[in-house]
């Protein structure tokens, strides 16, 4: 098995529909052992059975990344219970509701600061604090989205945060490469997760992506999970600083595919067929 003997930590699982869960499950199926974190007491109760399912029932730790003391405590717990680890999955993002709707220029400084702190700076802080327990040739993975590269309706502040996250991935990759640590990101296509529920018109986004991606479908957490497992494993030992798209090819499209109706008028194709 590809991940046999590997140990890691997954931050950001909300439920079994989470992309982070898909990555964790893929790693488990390939022999990895791992710990997972929870945000607060409410999530602890929800994640307890998931931790059991992943074989890490005793390794369920609190970690609110807005509280530096909890990140430090996480490092101490991992060192005590697991020794060194081989991978980190950072699947944490948040923007206040005002940052996901309305006029972009109306976003407050407080909302901007919160989104950047939770969605971007947390990656730097987690890597810095956990670096002493990272093994040689370890791997760090974070999660992005196409809205960090191109404008996506209703993504607003989170798009800016993802852009910063992708550049943070590249700068961390260069900085930590000398220590044998690889840092990559996955840019997944839209998936119906708890986080996605805060994005307006998300159901239309799913339809649009499926209609215009080369594969004419949306991706699943299992597909993203397998790609994540690859980037965490030694199979990708020569890969760092990359933003790996798992979006059925949507990111390569410069314009929507088109078709012609019976009158010869051009219409947007929908799942490969004229509307």
Catalytic (active site) residue 155: yes
Q: How many CA atoms lie within 13 A of 146 on its CB side?
A: 20
The catalytic residue among 145, 146, 230, 245 is 145
Nearest-5° Cα angle at 241, 12 to 185: 25
Active site residue 145: yes
- The residue among 185, 173, 171, 175 whose CA lies nearest residue 142 is 185
**Can you read off the two tokens belonging to residue 32?**
């990895």
Cite the annotated binding site for substrate by residue number.
95
Catalytic hit among 61, 155, 230, 245: 155
Residues annotated within the binding site are 12, 18-19, 64-65, 92, 95, 162, 191-195
Annotated binding site for NAD(+): 12, 18-19, 64-65, 92, 162, 191-195
Distance CA 126, CA 75 (A): 9
Active site (catalytic) residues = 145, 155
């Amino acid at each position: 098995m590809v991940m046999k003997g590997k140990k890691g930590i997954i931050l950001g699982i909300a439920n079994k529909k989470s992309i982070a869960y898909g990555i964790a499950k893929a790693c488990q199926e390939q022999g990895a052992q791992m710990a997972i974190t929870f945000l607060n007491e409410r999530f602890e109760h929800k994640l307890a059975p998931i931790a059991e399912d992943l074989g890490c029932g005793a390794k369920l730790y609190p970690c609110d990344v807005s509280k530096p003391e909890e990140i430090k405590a996480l490092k101490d717990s991992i060192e005590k219970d697991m020794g060194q680890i081989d991978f980190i999955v950072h699947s944490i993002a948040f923007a206040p509701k005002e940052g996901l709707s309305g006029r972009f220029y109306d976003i407050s400084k407080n909302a901007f600061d919160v989104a950047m702190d939770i969605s971007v700076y947390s990656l730097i802080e987690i890597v810095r604090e956990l670096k002493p327990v990272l093994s040689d040739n370890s791997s760090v993975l974070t999660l992005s989205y196409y809205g960090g590269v191109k404008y996506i309706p209703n993504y607003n502040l989170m798009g800016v945060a993802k852009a910063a996250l992708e550049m943070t991935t590249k700068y961390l990759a260069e900085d930590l490469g000398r220590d044998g640590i690889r840092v990559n990101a996955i840019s997944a296509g839209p998936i119906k997760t708890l986080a996605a529920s805060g994005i307006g018109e998300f159901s239309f986004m799913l339809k649009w992506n499926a209609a215009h991606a080369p594969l004419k479908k949306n991706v699943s957490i299992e597909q993203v999970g397998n790609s994540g497992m690859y980037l965490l494993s030694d199979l990708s030992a020569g890969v760092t600083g990359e933003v790996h798209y798992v979006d059925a090819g949507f990111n390569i499209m410069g314009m929507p595919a088109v078709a012609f109706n019976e009158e010869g008028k051009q219409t947007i194709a929908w799942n490969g067929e004229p509307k």
